[in-house]
Chains A and B, each alone.
Chain A
Amino acid sequence: MAECRIIQSPRRLAGGLQRADGKALSLSQPLMQVNPPVLQIALPDTLQDIPPERWSIGAQIEAGQPLFTTQEGITQACPRTATVESVGTGKTLSGSPTPCRLLNLTVVDPDPPRQPSLTPLPANPDGRTLRQRAADAGIVGLGGGGFPAHLKWQHRLHTLIVNGAECEPFLTADEQTMRLRAPAIWDAVVALMSALSLQRCVLVLEDNKPEALAALQAAYPSVLDAQDVCITVIQSQYPSGAERQLIWLALGLEIATTTFPVEHGIVVHNPVTLAALADALHGYPLTDRIVTVTGPSIVTPGTFQTPLGTPIDLLLSQAGGLRPGHHNVFHGGPYTGWPISNTAAGVRATTACLYAAPVVSQTPSPCIRCGACAEVCPVQLQPQQLFAALTHDQLDEALHVGLSQCLECGACDVVCPSNLSLTKTFQDGIRDHQIQQSEKQRADRARTRFEARNQRLLKRSEADETRRAVRRERSGSALDRIRAARAEETH
């Protein structure tokens, strides 16, 4: 019987929050399958100019067949056998002003694909095969980042960290996956370690997930015995699952925000992503994901196996719907989630959680510099100084004191006695900075072009000048010769 080494991490976050985690709310129910009659798939930004004729209305697409491929190479499979109802534009989840291209499907067969639509791979594929498969199966970071997995594997890597921290309260998608699909997670670990020739793997868990730990331990394959694999248990503390914080807790390595963990040879994946990768190895592309529907406003919170594109409304009603009253539905958890304005839109690959809570109106009062925000900041920023700089239009000062290092984790908002929207202010500041940067780049490009043109014109006029001078000289000397000849003649 194989046993995985379990290590207690000696480190803890500098700041962080320790609050009631609310996870039991959605874990008290078994995982449920959602069978939506319709699907609405939003096309990625890079595919907005795809012609609508690409899909003929009424045509049937089999489950698992490719719908489209993004610029990054990610192929999205059709989640269910369905007919194309319409291809149009509409509002996105967040209700952003730019409309989004939508593909509306009517489900013909509610069951998930029974046959693999891709050829099953051997247990130990090589790196290139694995990258290709992840792209073909549409594997992106399902923890919420949505970054294509195969692009991370292009780097020279030595360590795989499985991010089972799931530190944000109420979120349970990773925990449910670890409890129910531990063998699949280990399968993906085995494949990744051999395909990318990794030296070690650390699976990180918070200490509030004993059942997930037991499931992982029970499913630990003896194949990994010869490898450097361990489970590291960390203290439950938000936001221990933020990528750089997690790496520090697991390995004791600090990574500056100017570099990416993959550049240091470390790749981080969530258990949900690894389970999807295991399915992809068996030939099943990403068609469904596990979504936690939870929060104080949900009648029966739970976890749901949901086809991508399932309308949010439908998913909410599967969870008993919202309680009476005014509620906000958030995409993501209570701290990092953003309000969903269009609940008719479909579930995305990054929809790990729908969190619903009553609308509370809190009037902010002035900052009294109490420093509660700095105490909980996991990167040791001084949010009160950042806030003061940003509210006084000193973006450069805010950047100087570390604005771009902000994780946007929202811990400061939770503890602020003045109810200030600190994270929102920081996000706006970071966006302003990005706009400034791109404008500066554009201006720089324009200036370079202008200067190059000036140079070109100058060079041309100089060349003209020299040519003219040469000609003048030549003609001058010719004239002299004639004069000399004439003078000779007269003599």
Chain B
Amino acid sequence: MLWRIWAPPQSTRAVMQSVWIALIPGTLTSVWIFGPGVLVHLVLAGLGACLAEVIGRRARGLAAMQALQDGSTLLTAWLLALALPPAAPLWLPFVAGLIAIGLGKQLYGGLGQNPVNPAMLAYAILIVSAPVAMTTGWIVPFQGWSTPMPLTGIGVGAVDGLTGATILDLYRTEFRELTAPEIAQHPLFSVGGLGIAPGVEWVALSHLLGGGFLFARRVIRWQAPVGFLVGLLGLAAFFAIDPDNTVPVLTHALAGATLFSAFFIVTDPVSGATSPRGQWWFGLGAGVITYLIRTYGLYPDGVAFAVLFMNFMVPLIDQYTRPRIHGESRSIRGSVRGRS
């Protein structure tokens, strides 16, 4: 059995399933840190996604159930469930699943046709349309199992104190006036962990484990994740010369969706660049934009917008990063239509 898991996948279904396997450590850690809400979200997002898939395929006159077999729909839902705040109201993951598959995938013609990452599209639409539900549903780490699940958006404020902002939010708000040594005194850092991004860092490191599995199984290449991390952390390291006013490099690396995105979002083959060199530029661009949004933008974490922006750049990247064909003196650039 083990050799089957380690062999490079031979079918689209096997590709998707190996990503499922890679998501298990991060998911289990999220449940440990944030409570059972993660699993409830997973189910609800899955339901929304499958419903949109079935409706979409029916509308396109195709057999509805066949498409669910390749596992890509559930994968999108899974990624989405992990990206949403764990204490968000229950309608949120369901709607997110509907949007991701309905608007992000079926509208363009299903698997392989979507120009942007469906999970990130749903995330971006919801953070613009439902900012409160999308930002305040973060549970204080390790208290997930004692936090009641809010059923509607109204409940979020009521259980205040148990839910709260992420560490990246804190750096934007409360920590703004503080110096680096004062920030280190914050009670949040005493709840357990490495003292970098309480709780979340364990989730991030679990995703690193999953990403390593994908790399070892040759489902992903190194270019996009490394490009993303170089873009984001390179800028963070450069500006870290002023520790009082910037988020530390390690916090950038382990908080928010950094490692999750590096291995599971920027590596999406359908909406990402296709050649290894293109994937490097794609990842690098997404990393740089993520840093800019985190530092200067309106939203605490900018991965979704950064990835969407780079998704739109993909046709351009693909045209200018083709390798040189054997026997030709230089690589072919641009498109035949662009020249006429």
Contacts and interface: CB of A to CB of B under 8 A. Distances in A.
Contacts of B70: 365
Interface of B: 9-12, 14-15, 70, 72, 110-113, 221, 269-270, 272, 274-276, 318, 322-328, 332, 335-337
B16 to A, nearest CB: 9
A368 B15 contact: yes
B10 A366 contact: no
B270 A400 contact: no
20 contacts: A244-B327, A257-B327, A365-B70, A366-B110, A368-B270, A369-B270, A370-B269, A371-B274, A374-B275, A380-B324, A382-B322, A385-B322, A400-B332, A405-B325, A405-B326, A405-B327, A405-B328, A417-B9, A418-B11, A418-B112
Q: Which of the listed residues B110, B270, B323 has the most CB atoms from chain A within 10 Å of its own CB?
A: B323
Given A400-B335, A419-B11, A368 B112 contact: yes
B274 A374 contact: yes
B111 A371 contact: no
A254 interface: yes
A14 interface: yes
A379 interface: yes
Interface string A243-258: 0110010000011110
Contacts, number: 89
A368 to B, nearest CB: 5
B276 A379 contact: no
Interface in A367-412: 367-371, 374, 378-382, 384-385, 394, 396-397, 399-402, 405
Contacts of B337: 397
B275 A382 contact: yes
B97 to A, nearest CB: 20
B324 A368 contact: no
A382 B326 contact: no
Which 7 pairs between the two chains have the least Cβ-Cβ distance?
A366-B112, A400-B336, A256-B327, A379-B326, A380-B323, A370-B269, A366-B111
A369 B273 CA distance: 9
B328 A256 contact: yes
Contacts of B12: 365, 368, 417-418
Interface string A222-254: 000000000000000000000011001000001
Nearest to A380: B323
Nearest to A374: B275
Contacts of A14: 323, 326
A429 to B, nearest CB: 14
B332 A401 contact: yes
A381 to B, nearest CB: 6
Contacts of B221: 371
A139 to B, nearest CB: 28
Contact of A402 (B15, B113, B325): B325
B14 A384 contact: no
A401 B322 contact: yes
Contacts of A369: 112, 269-270, 272, 274
A378 B110 CA distance: 31
Contact of A255 (B11, B274, B327): B327
B283 to A, nearest CB: 14
A417 B15 contact: yes
Given A244-B327, A368-B270, A417-B10, 4 more contacts: A369-B270, A382-B318, A402-B328, A418-B112
Contact of A417 (B14, B272, B327): B14
Contacts of B269: 368-371
Contacts of B326: 14, 244-245, 248, 254, 378-380, 405
A365 B12 CA distance: 8
Contacts of B9: 417
Interface in A44-58: none
B327 A384 contact: no
Contacts of A368: 12, 15, 72, 111-112, 269-270
Nearest to B15: A417
A226 to B, nearest CB: 33
A417 B335 contact: no
Contacts of A417: 9-12, 14-15
A366 B113 contact: yes
Interface string A333-348: 0000000000000000
A388 B335 CA distance: 13
A397 B111 CA distance: 23
A457 B323 CA distance: 54
B335 A367 contact: no
Nearest to B14: A417
Contacts of A374: 274-275, 323
Contacts of B111: 365-366, 368
Nearest to B276: A371
B70 to A, nearest CB: 6
A368 B72 CA distance: 10
A391 to B, nearest CB: 11
Nearest to B328: A256
A379 B327 CA distance: 8
A382 B323 CA distance: 8
A366 B11 CA distance: 11
Contacts of B332: 400-402
Nearest to B335: A397
A397 B270 CA distance: 20
B272 to A, nearest CB: 8
A474 B82 CA distance: 102
Contacts of A385: 274, 318, 322
Contacts of B10: 417
Nearest to B331: A380
Q: Which of the listed residues B70, B221, B275 has the most CB atoms from chain A within 10 Å of its own CB?
A: B275
Given A369-B274, A371-B269, A382-B274, A397 B322 contact: no
Contacts of B335: 397, 400
A381 B318 CA distance: 12
Contacts of B327: 244, 254-257, 379, 405
Interface in A80-116: none
A405 B326 CA distance: 9
A367 B111 CA distance: 8
A366 B105 CA distance: 13
Nearest to A405: B325
